[in-house]
Amino acid sequence: MKSHINRKVFFSMMVGIAVAVVAALLGAAAEIIGLLGWICAGLTFLFWAWVRYWRADAHTTRAIAREEGKARRVVDALIVGATVVSLVAVVFGLLRSQQTDVVGTLSGVLALVSVVVSWALINTVYAFKLARLYYHDEEHEFTFEQRQDPTYSDFAFVSFMVGMTYTFDAKLSSTEMRRVAFGYSLLAYAFGTFVIAVALNLVTSLGQSG
């Protein structure tokens, strides 16, 4: 499983690098190159992740969550780290968007898309993390108000709900889980604020260029 996960992350990175190289060869601005590369890498990983996990039943979800273990934790840490670092490219894109030309407008649009992709990646990573925490053993650290065992789609619902409302739609039953939920809520709030800031900046830039 470890090699399978690593291959998918590596493939997503290669897609992003390939797109960035093509953009560079075509003479694109540095800000656009970085944003395009990150967007394509992120979308590739998101596509793979949810095509594979979305339709998984409870039995499959439990098996995958338990099997992934520490290998998934390392990959998740790398993804979260890369996502946070990618915000640097977004900042440069926003600075470039202040110039009222085609490149500036495109930089602003790509900056907004990049932040949304980063937000989706963070929520996806935490959906997988919640699945691991839940199925780590039989003493679940949080519970759902349902009789059936949860699937990855349930964990995605909780994760993206936190990403949108900063509230945890499950009953927490351990100190560790409350710490995870607290840290995740803070990160989700930071990304939500950043999305709003980027959107407002883009609207302002488009208004000035118009």
Q: Identify the band that residue 40 occupies on the pLDDT scale cut at 50, 70 and 90.
A: very high
Domain ranges for the chain, please list them.
Answer: 2-209
Residue 117, classified by CB atoms within 10 Å of its CB into exposed (0-12), middle (13-18) or buried (19+), is buried
More confident residue, 20 or 86: 20
E strand map for 26-183: 142-143, 171-172
| Best-predicted range by mean pLDDT (2-11, 96-105, 125-134, 190-199) | 125-134
C-alpha span between 210 and 204 (Å, rounded): 10
C-alpha span between 42 and 195 (Å, rounded): 16
Least confident of 2-6, 61-65, 80-84: 2-6
Query: One-letter amino acid identity for 18?
Result: A
Q: Identify the band that residue 189 occupies on the pLDDT scale cut at 50, 70 and 90.
A: confident
Among residues 34, 109, 80, the alpha carbon closest in space to that of 190 is found at 80
| Best-predicted range by mean pLDDT (72-76, 78-82, 87-91, 189-193) | 189-193
Q: Quick check: helix, strand or coil at residue 171? A: strand
> CA torsion 100→104→109→114, rounded to 10°?
-150
Structure confidence at residue 97 (pLDDT): 64
Structure confidence at residue 16 (pLDDT): 93
E strand map for 49-177: 142-143, 171-172
Residue 43, classified by CB atoms within 10 Å of its CB into exposed (0-12), middle (13-18) or buried (19+), is middle
> What average pLDDT is seen over the chain?
81
Average pLDDT over residues 114-120: 86
pTM to 2 decimal places: 0.82
More confident residue, 28 or 196: 28
